[in-house]
Structure 1
Amino acid sequence: MKLYSFFNSSASYRVRIALALKGIDYQTVGVNIRIGQQNAQAYRRMNPTGLVPTLVTDDGEALGQSLAIIDWLDRHFPQSRLLPDSDPARSRILEIVYAIACDIHPVNNLRVLRYLSEELNISDEAKKRWYAHWIQQGLTAVEQLLQESQSESYCVGNTPTLADCCLIPQWANALRMECDLSAYPRCKAVYDACTQLPAFIAAAPENQQDKLSA
């Protein structure tokens, strides 16, 4: 399999965590979204959205959208299941996943931040306030969801799930953007625990092959 990825993309980071947790071998192809490589015609033929990541399976099927990719991996490689079949754990996990992937990430990703700067002429200071506002709104909800799930080392239960695959990249981005994260102790506990695990270390942005060329 090939994963078309950008080292600092949180959506790519999610998929790398899932692949590592399942012990799946794959080849990484770097797509530098900072210089627009995702807009190349060949890449757009694989992924019409022009986003990362894209997973190309051994059968040649190209899949975009991180959650769709992880769902495919979970069904085809059922070891270390990331989304259980049964409730209440399944619903709890998806609630956290969607709070991050649908409510926080879309308004704070690179193309949105660039539009604020390049098209709307928003200052860097105002853009930083935008980012911090949506982090505060989103993580306040996630923190409450973790309290309801009685999280400890992981978002739900005693092993990493799809929720952890989503939370760790989002938290890492918030740290990089220097957001105040002091109000979210349960989120921090999950981040601190997960980032000690070999799979999460292997998937981290600083450990990716394409980091040096970005």
Structure 2
Amino acid sequence: MSNIILHDFWRSSASYRVRIGLNLKGVAYTSHSVGLPADEHKSADYRALNPQGFVPMLEIDGHRLTQSLAILDYLDATHKEPPFVPHDPAERSHVLAMALVIACDIHPLNNLRVLKYLGRPLGQTEAVRDHWYRHWIAEAFPALEAMAARSAGRWLSGDGVSLADICLVPQIYNARRFDVPLDAYPTLVRIDATAQNHPAFAAAHPDRQEQPA
């Protein structure tokens, strides 16, 4: 079997998702750190591999896969257990909706490249950028809490881990980094606590990854 390489950055939310997914599926991989603050993802060498210049990128089975949810979909199609989405169409839609609240409605607005653009060239202070970050989490988390409360068991959708949980945990990590109050989201906090005690999630945590010197 060829070496599986994950190009990631230790604190990238999207990379965190893929690390969780690889661990859940029991897929061994080698990590290659791409320094986002130093703009290593913009280098000619990296863009030759991934024209968009983002992380994560997964080299697997002769493919170079990009976009975290697309990578997770590939892993789910090629490694059946545990399934990341339910078989029931309505439950599947619900899991995807919760995942997309995070991946489409929160994360793009709080991505590092957006925060850097707010700083320069737009000239916004760090305090303003932090307020921006917290605002978009606070906009989405109440709806996500309500969505989760009606379906949650041990995990966000019943008692099986799903794509929604894989997306939630990195977002809770980010919320805590930026001091977002979480008392109003007891279901989300409970699910995150469950995840922290799961080996696949714990091993993917940013604090356990290679960090720049």
Displacement of 1:86 in angstroms is 2.4
CA distance, structure 1, for counterparts of residue 10 and residue 204 of structure 2: 9
- Confirm or deny: 8 A CA contact 1:155 1:161 kept in the other structure: yes
* Long gaps (5+) in structure 1: none
CA distance, structure 2, for counterparts of residue 73 and residue 175 of structure 1: 29
Displacement of 1:46 in angstroms is 1.7
CA offset digits 1:138-160 (Å, max 9, x no partner): 111111110222x1331101121
1:197 aligns with 2:198: yes
| Secondary structure at the counterpart of residue 93 of structure 1 | helix
Q: How many residues align?
A: 210
Match of 1:128 in 2: 130
Displacement of 1:180 in angstroms is 1.4
- Confirm or deny: 8 A CA contact 1:101 1:166 kept in the other structure: yes
Match of 1:19 in 2: 22
CA distance, structure 1, for counterparts of residue 166 and residue 44 of structure 2: 30
Match of 1:8 in 2: 11
TM-score (norm 2): 0.95
Return the letter of the residue paired with 2:52. T
- Confirm or deny: 8 A CA contact 1:152 1:186 kept in the other structure: no
Displacement of 1:88 in angstroms is 2.2
1:29 aligns with 2:32: yes
CA offset digits 1:24-72 (Å, max 9, x no partner): 111111111111110111211221111100001132x101100000000
* Long gaps (5+) in structure 2: none
Kindly report which structure 2 residues correspond to 1:56-135, keeping only aligned pairs within 5 A, or say none.
56-59=59-62, 61-135=63-137
1:154 aligns with 2:143: no
Displacement of 1:181 in angstroms is 1.5
Task: Work out which of the residue numbers 27, 39, 44 in structure 2 matches 1:41.
Answer: 44
RMSD value, Cα: 1.0
CA distance, structure 2, for counterparts of residue 9 and residue 158 of structure 1: 27
TM-score (norm 1): 0.95
Displacement of 1:125 in angstroms is 1.3
Return the letter of the residue paired with 2:90. P
| Secondary structure at the counterpart of residue 88 of structure 1 | helix
Displacement of 1:80 in angstroms is 0.7
CA offset digits 1:103-133 (Å, max 9, x no partner): 0000001000111111111111111111111
Match of 1:165 in 2: 166
CA distance, structure 2, for counterparts of residue 165 and residue 9 of structure 1: 13
Greater shift, 152-161 or 20-29, is seen at 152-161
- Confirm or deny: 8 A CA contact 1:146 1:156 kept in the other structure: yes
- Determine what percentage of the aligned residue pairs are the same residue: 41
